[in-house]
Structure 1
Amino acid sequence: MQAIANIWRNARSSARDFVADRRALAATEFAVIVPLMLVMFFGTVEFSSAVAVNRKVTMIARTLSDLTSQSTGVNGPAMQDTFTASISMIMPYDATLVNGTVAQIYIDSSKVAKIKWSKSATIANGATQAAVTDAPPSLAPDTTVTSMIPSPLLIASTYLIFSQASYVYTPSVKFVLKSGVTLSDVSYTRPRQVTCVPYDGVPSPCPLN
């Protein structure tokens, strides 16, 4: 009878110990919380980097149009320097992932906007200077681009310097963002010193009607 009582007391003691033991609960909480903490941590890192790159892309677009608008005329070497200086602002991020475009737009007396000249550029891996090429077909010379001009800037018989910069952002960890995201921005400025900014003499003279 005493043996049965001892067994019963031991069983009750074991049950109390089992209920009081929190080690399994702590392990379960840890297993649940850690993935959430990792998502928050790496998500914050990836998002912060994307915001930093996006701000630099905006700066590149504004610098491209600003430098071009201050010129009285540009040519191949001048545009190469402008693209090189502007795209290099992306550092310490990878400059080879930046694509820049500059175009001059003329808005005629009927408020129809057409591109007069346009150039694009990238900096190849290992290169110190940008490689200037023709702009994509959507921004080729003589292309009508009225729809992309903000209405306050659509003033008859005026010129605009348009610039665009884009960057393919791919997070290094890829914990939250699994693939690349294209970040881009545009900028518009008026020619500062002249009516229009010719590229290698085009247009010459600058039409005003």
Structure 2
Amino acid sequence: MGMRATWRHWARSFKRAESGVAAVEFALILPIMLMLYVGMVEGSALISMDRKVQTVSGAVGDLVARSNGAISIGTLDNYVKIASGIMTPYPTSDLVQIVTQVHVDTAGKATVDWSQRYVGQVRQSTGAHTKGAVYPLPAQVVAIAKGEYVIVTESGLAYTPLYGIIFDSAVNLYRENFFMPRFREPILLN
């Protein structure tokens, strides 16, 4: 058998060989499928946590805005503590929440009336917005709130990837919500 015949024989036998094809195909596609699976798990966890951060910010702001004229610091502390139920199964130990009342004068200047900051649902003595400081409200909110007050709630949390395969650094989630007090008057913080 010559060299040409050997190549023909090899080409024909390669064409007919099917015994290991499925194993080779599986070995080629497995890493891609695993990356897709891990990516979907990471992505869905990130989206879920982001929605929970949004819900926390919205729920606290809505509760504060419903106050009739005054809110005690104890009641505000309790409102902030609802985050543990909303954030389940995610941890709240690093959750940062800031509740601020902003006054918008008739000229459209927004200044902080009062502000409280919480980390892990514990009130902090620092880090809140300074009373009297200018607060950067969006132009649409300023247009609606001229001459009135706005309750601003902020929530932030760093999402740490579960596996660190698709992305390996923390993603900072941040949400800010704006509410007009329901009774159209300032809410005093006692």
Same fold (TM over 0.5): yes
| 2: CA distance, partners of 1:82 / 1:96 | 16
Query: 1:205 maps to what in 2?
Result: none
Query: 1:74 maps to what in 2?
Result: 71
Larger Rg: 1
| 2: CA distance, partners of 1:111 / 1:11 | 85
Query: 1:132 maps to what in 2?
Result: 123
Query: 1:156 maps to what in 2?
Result: 146
Match of 1:178 among 143, 146, 168: 168
Match of 2:93 among 93, 96, 99: 96
Report 1:103-118 matches (<5 A).
Answer: 103-118=100-115
Distance 1:152 1:11, change over 3 A: closer
Contact 2:108 2:142 (C-alpha < 8 Å) held by counterparts: no
| 2: CA distance, partners of 1:10 / 1:109 | 93
Where do 5+ consecutive residues of structure 2 fail to align? Answer: none
| 2: CA distance, partners of 1:120 / 1:106 | 18
TM-score by length of 1: 0.78
Match of 2:58 among 62, 65, 87: 62
| 2: CA distance, partners of 1:151 / 1:43 | 37
TM-score by length of 2: 0.85
- Once the two structures are superposed, residues 36-61 of structure 1 have per-residue CA deviations (whole angstroms, 9 ceiling, x without a partner) of 11111111111111111111111111
Distance 1:15 1:149, change over 3 A: closer
Query: 1:44 maps to what in 2?
Result: 40
Give the length in aligned residue pairs: 187
| 1: CA distance, partners of 2:183 / 2:83 | 21
Cα-Cα RMSD: 2.5
**Residue 15 (structure 1) shift:** 5.3
Contact 2:150 2:179 (C-alpha < 8 Å) held by counterparts: yes
Where do 5+ consecutive residues of structure 1 fail to align? Answer: 124-129, 201-209
Identity of aligned residues (%): 22
